[in-house]
Amino acid sequence: MKLDNLRQLVKEELERTLSEGTPKYTKGDTFIYMGSKHLVVSDDGFIIKAMAPSGRIVKINYGQLKDRVSENTIDADLKDMPLENMAEGTYEIHFVVADREGGGDYADSDTITITNDDFKQNFDSSSYSFWKDIARKIANARIYKVEKVTKA
């Protein structure tokens, strides 16, 4: 009876250990690590080799990823992300327009395509100011605040 219990314990431990070493990412997957988008080159289940935005290959172990990775960036609010970490693409901006007629403010949103040049030209301004200026141009009105910016 003790031998059967020991076998069962060893089997459970092996299954747990093997499942921890199973690669989570495949070549070509992307994730946000410490505010920058990384492209997976390889994953052996313990160490991920990824290409940083600078083009440099970095090795990241799963322990480092645990608290610093953002895999689901679809609904992530990007309005405060540094502009140098932003990628060219289409963004949806949610903002509040201040009513000029004296009525109540109202929420609005729109999508816009931003190029890398747009980001580079505005590195000196804060991210929030950048998105507020974009929203002001879209709405052609006074913007009370930018509520959220997401990838479209």
pLDDT tens per residue across span 23-72: 778 888 887 777 777 888 998 878 889 988 888 899 988 777 766 665 55
Other CB atoms within a 10 A radius of the CB of residue 35 amount to 13
42 lies in which domain range? 2-70
75 located within any domain: no
Q: pTM value?
A: 0.50
Domain count for the chain, please give it: 2
Task: For residue 122, give the 3-state DSSP assignment.
Answer: coil
Q: Which residues pair with 123 in a beta bridge?
A: none
Residue 83 C-alpha from the chain's centroid: 13
**Is 94 found in the same domain as 45?**
no
76 located within any domain: no
**Is 147 found in the same domain as 87?**
yes
28 located within any domain: yes
Catalogue the long-range contacts made by 37-44 (C-beta closer than 8 Å, 24 or more residues apart). 37/85, 37/87
Confidence tier at 15 by pLDDT (50, 70, 90): confident
The DSSP output letter for 83 is: G
Q: Flag whether pLDDT at 120 surpasses 60.
A: yes
Residue 45, both tokens? 């289940």
Confidence tier at 9 by pLDDT (50, 70, 90): confident
**Is 60 found in the same domain as 111?**
no
The DSSP output letter for 85 is: G
**Is 142 found in the same domain as 102?**
yes
Percent of the chain with pLDDT over 70: 87
**Is 60 found in the same domain as 108?**
no
**Is 90 found in the same domain as 141?**
yes
- Predicted local distance difference test score (pLDDT) of residue 21: 60
pLDDT digit string, tens, across residues 134-143: 888 888 888 8
Other CB atoms within a 10 A radius of the CB of residue 19 amount to 9
